[in-house]
Structure 1
Amino acid sequence: MNAVNCEWTKLRTSPGTVWLALAVVVTTAGVSLLAAVATRCADGTCAFDPAKVSLTGVAVGQAVVAVLGVLAVGTEYSSGTMRLTLAAVPRRTHVLAAKAVVLAAIVGAAAVPSTLLSLWAGRAYLDDPPDLGSGAVLRAAVGSVLYLVLVALLSLGLATVTRNSATAIGAVLALLYVVPILATAVRDADLEKHLKQLGPMNAGLAVQATRGLDELPIGPWKGLGVLCLWAVGALVLAAVLLTRRDA
């Protein structure tokens, strides 16, 4: 508990944390609003998924979340204060766990209003707005919040592994944005499907789908589970290296 309190104090008092959390809300909701305004039904026929369109901003806001997750530990390595942190809390896995808990809470607090504002934009501007009383839309909303939290934890894990903020940010953004590009660039249909099933962004954002679920390369919750495995894998590797390497 003391480790959690320490990490909470460090992140809460950092001006960058507050601004990045606000940026998550503004970016996610703003891009979702633009997507909702720009999307129109053709000839009275709406073929798009209203919930997914409403939550478009999550795919952009995750970049800010990734930066926030990396800086939660990257700044301590760059400034050298990680040595003080590990001296104060000798059990290094407790330090990583505390950072993960606090980071998840902060990102979750930013993700909830981001998601609600995004859905409001869809209700206000889409010709075929999402049904907020639908279980599928509720799953898309909750899944979007969890998605952003998992992206933050993945970023935290990779930042601890690399111990360099720039390298970690590049690695996270490559996983999130480059893998989908590679998936669409390959000519083999089976390979494309597998890349979409294994890529953290493609798989994770499947949770937002409320229509055409049979056409998805992976189911909504299974896709979010893939992202969860990425995040857990990064944190486990981070925990192992954190205990074995010098600060």
Structure 2
Amino acid sequence: VVLQAVPYLQAGTISLGVLAVGTEYADGQIHTTLRCVPDRLAVPAAKAVAYLAWAAGTAVTALAVGLLTARIALATRDVPVVTDGVPWDVVGAAAHLTLVGLLGLALAALLRAVVSALVVTLSLVLVVSPVLDAITPHARYLPDRAGALLYLPDPERVLTPATGLLVLLGWVVVIAGGAVAAFRRRDA
């Protein structure tokens, strides 16, 4: 029950990632940031670390509350709840949410705009991915589909959770690498 809400929770973590970087460009705060910390590698690294800490905590909290709510609801209906250790699917879902939001952060740094980064990232995961999934099996290599393997099994068993994680990380690394390279070269 809780894991079915993860695709919709992506919008929150993506928004968090985009706003963490994009708002600095919107109001010119990036100039002050670079005056205080002129190192062009330290700034994006610090933003990424701060985002990861906040987003991981937010994702874990949201999923834990959802899991607790589902267990309480099931218990009130006398449905047996199986608890056999750590729910690794929920941990995978939290990792997925955090990394998809990191993708939004990287796109915001690359595009230097809140609206365009939100439109691109949210369109990718909420519109393009479901449409392409209905058309082609290659949609499994999109970041949200590959990352979803961390909490949902692949019925066709083409990708494992580990390879899905690698595909998602590949998307993040490529876009973040482009964002860092652009950040180092262009004016604030």
The answer, yes or no, to whether TM exceeds 0.5 is: yes
User: What's the TM-score, normalizing by structure 2?
Assistant: 0.88
For 2:137, the aligned partner's letter is: K
For 1:240, the aligned partner's letter is: A
2:13 and 2:181 mapped to 1: Cα distance?
A: 24
RMSD between superposed Cα atoms in Å: 2.1
2:138 to 190, 194, 211: 194
Structure 2 unaligned regions, length at least 5: none
1:208 deviation in Å?
1.1
1:55 and 1:117 mapped to 2: Cα distance?
A: 12
Distance 1:129 1:154, change over 3 A: farther
Higher relative contact order, chain-length normalized (CA < 8 Å, sep 6+) = 2
* 1:56 partner SS: helix
Distance 1:113 1:80, change over 3 A: same
The aligned counterpart of 2:84 is 133
Asked if structure 2 preserves the Cα contact closer than 8 Å seen for 1:158 and 1:234, the reply is: yes
User: What's the TM-score, normalizing by structure 1?
Assistant: 0.68
Asked if structure 2 preserves the Cα contact closer than 8 Å seen for 1:203 and 1:224, the reply is: yes
Structure 1 unaligned regions, length at least 5: 1-52, 187-191
2:180 to 239, 242, 245: 239
The higher radius of gyration belongs to: 1
1:98 deviation in Å?
0.1
1:130 deviation in Å?
6.6
Distance 1:166 1:130, change over 3 A: farther
Instruction: Return 146-155 or 215-224, whichever deviates more.
Output: 215-224
1:60 and 1:209 mapped to 2: Cα distance?
A: 15
Q: Structure 1 residue 144 and structure 2 residue 93: aligned?
A: yes
For 2:47, the aligned partner's letter is: K
The aligned counterpart of 1:158 is 107
Distance 1:207 1:171, change over 3 A: same
Q: Deviations over 1:122-167 (max 9, x none)?
A: 43445877743256xx321111111111112111110011011000
The aligned counterpart of 1:119 is 67
Distance 1:133 1:108, change over 3 A: same
For 1:202, the aligned partner's letter is: R
The aligned counterpart of 1:182 is 131
How many residues of Structure 1 are paired with residues of Structure 2 in the alignment?
185
